[in-house]
A and B are shown apart, each in its own frame.
Chain A
């Protein structure tokens, strides 16, 4: 089994920056990523797509080439197409690549698995034709595929970015159905100081909005009662905005109301997580270097709390400095010296975040869906079932999982976990922290039994089974 000083899971901005920083200090680094080419979701396939459609995607995207270029370093082994399904003590990492299971060992692990779209369970969200806004962006970035007749639903800056990109590509969305209200914006004003410090972000946002307005994309704000209608596939979005009930026909619906940390890998290792009320999600408890309560496990980027691509890049470097120091490639003084400008930059990057979190809060009706709405896409469990399970004594999602299968499917709760916690917390009058989250176990992603069996070293002795069945 190959041994490394540092294994990094995820080749997005945090993972790429950390790999470069750590290798620069002499560490032997392995960077494992599921995709065939580096970039993560934010810079997905940037080396290829950047030159093809950089004009549509903008310089914030093509900027990712700076990071992918940094991976060309002798100290970095970038394993592409590697689906990590177990991280165990030691650390022993099991992954699948090209249909085969493989393993490697590392002294320390940096989890840089980024964010997931916040689940947005609205009526009709499981219909074909309904996708996350992130999916819409990935289609455009990686494949140059655009929805001809799309409605964008939800809230948050990403919604404006994808709308502007669609405008630039010549296929503007039919409409934007936005859930945030003027009251949200007013509430966000108390964070205006931060917003002003983070003025480049605000300016970018205003430019995107101007592009959308110029293209005459209809915007409906404060939308409620949202549902996707269709017989076997998405055909229209129905909602009420400013007291008026509307129905907009479309072929594609892109949903988005923020992104949340992808905590699967960290949770599988037992890393402590805490509820972040400002971002309405769980985030791992980290020290100022991205260290967790599990010795040797670090987290950087959106997986540690939502901060965006630039913040992720800086956090990746900061974590790498600490890891290099622990590996005795840097002294504490050197580490701290390198970290000073990074921390200042990180503060600037995060300055606008409180304003954005408050101005674009998650869609309330998706946080507490109506009883009939499916909340677990894999096992097709409804919100009403979870509430019923609370009445049968479910204090937390693991008992609910046992009672009704929510979270048992192949996505392992990625798109229902936060909803189940929220529903149970609400029903039981407890906090999300008291309610807890799914116990995440390997395999983090499905793996064939054949692959697993091929890793078996000793033949089986079946006789010992018979004692205790």
Chain B
């Protein structure tokens, strides 16, 4: 099989990039794993989020802002094309605080970032009473919140579904159940899979999440990616209880309250644990006491795809020109940017966004 672009990884990141390239008339083949693969696309929290990102790298904050700003239009287009609505609410989101000290410290960090961004960082601080007007179910232990107006949340599974449908509709070839074992470049790229499938491609994009850690070095990348476990809870469907999402909890469009997430360095272990569940439940109840009576119906562990500094990596291979590493922790937030802005960078056009700071040169050789 021959294609202009081969994308290794059929999660939200890979499919978003595929979607953008297909829209430009490129031929694209996506190689996707199997039903049991580690899939951050199925386990993420679903925030389209700006605040707290890029505290030490304003360009990352800005990149997240750029994506959030074009997300609604992107979601609407997917919905129109496929008939699969992607629920999205961008009415702001909270960082809830249980102590004045942490609230104040965070506000100071945000103020610094805001200055670096030329003032484009629309947040406000709500004290307990102001917050209670917005969120009548907020608990007494919450001293206040930072409401960031560029934040929101989406249904990440509907996004995945709509992308899967639209990529196919536009003629993208998606090969499922594939494990890529090797990528070499005798002339163009040749991608070999465990089941014997080979694909010839003009360019290759590695967006295989944690899989990039193994494949990346074969393609000339450092790919210093590690897993970090997040356990997530979801309750039975409830009447409206939470208006805006926070890092602690959000009410999903189907009615359940989603609660997250732990940050655990446990390698490739995506199990849930009773202590993890209890910790998250306790925090959620502190934020919204009415949740004490809610039934937890499901929980899961998913593995974040993290670089050492938590920022995305966008890098063309120095050894294999035409091979690109595209990986990030925030595949949902950045989906719109990956679909609409990244293709220019992949094709090296004049409109390419400046992604210099996301290159691998930032990782010192150890």
Contact = CB atoms under 8 A, between A and B. Distances in A.
B3 interface: no
Interface in A391-408: 392-399, 402-405, 408
B247 A469 contact: yes
B36 A468 contact: no
B19 interface: no
Interface string A393-426: 1111111001111001110100000000000000
Contact of B52 (A403, A452, A469): A469
A439 interface: yes
Interface in B36-75: 36, 39, 41-42, 45, 47, 49, 52-53
A462 B281 contact: no
A443 B174 CA distance: 34
Contacts, number: 153
B125 interface: no
Most chain-A Cβ atoms within 10 A of its Cβ — which of B39, B254, B286, B292? Answer: B292
A392 B53 CA distance: 33
B95 A468 contact: no
B285 A450 contact: yes
Interface string B222-266: 000000100001011000000000011000001000010101000
**Tier of interface size on chain A:** 35 or more
Interface string A80-109: 000000101000101000000001000000
B299 A443 contact: yes
Contact of B297 (A395, A410, A456): A410
B310 A396 contact: no
B340 interface: no
Contacts of A460: 98, 279, 282-283, 286
Contacts of A94: 274
Interface residues of B, number: 66
Most chain-B Cβ atoms within 10 A of its Cβ — which of A92, A394, A447? Answer: A447
Most chain-B Cβ atoms within 10 A of its Cβ — which of A395, A412, A449, A467? Answer: A449
A88 B47 contact: no
B42 A402 contact: yes
Contacts of B275: 455-457
Given A441-B298, A466-B247, A468-B263, 14 more contacts: A94-B274, A393-B10, A399-B35, A402-B160, A402-B161, A405-B254, A410-B236, A442-B299, A443-B277, A449-B235, A450-B281, A450-B285, A460-B98, A469-B52
11 contacts: A395-B34, A402-B161, A408-B298, A436-B35, A441-B272, A447-B296, A449-B291, A450-B293, A462-B248, A468-B228, A469-B247
Interface of B: 10, 32, 34-36, 39, 41-42, 45, 47, 49, 52-53, 95, 97-98, 102, 106, 157, 160-161, 164-165, 168, 174, 176-177, 228, 233, 235-236, 247-248, 254, 259, 261, 263, 271-275, 277-279, 281-286, 291-301, 304, 306, 310, 329
Interface of A: 86, 88, 92, 94, 103, 392-399, 402-405, 408-410, 412, 435-436, 439, 441-443, 446-450, 452-457, 460, 462-469
3 smallest CB-CB distances across A and B, nearest first, come from A396-B35, A450-B292, A452-B281
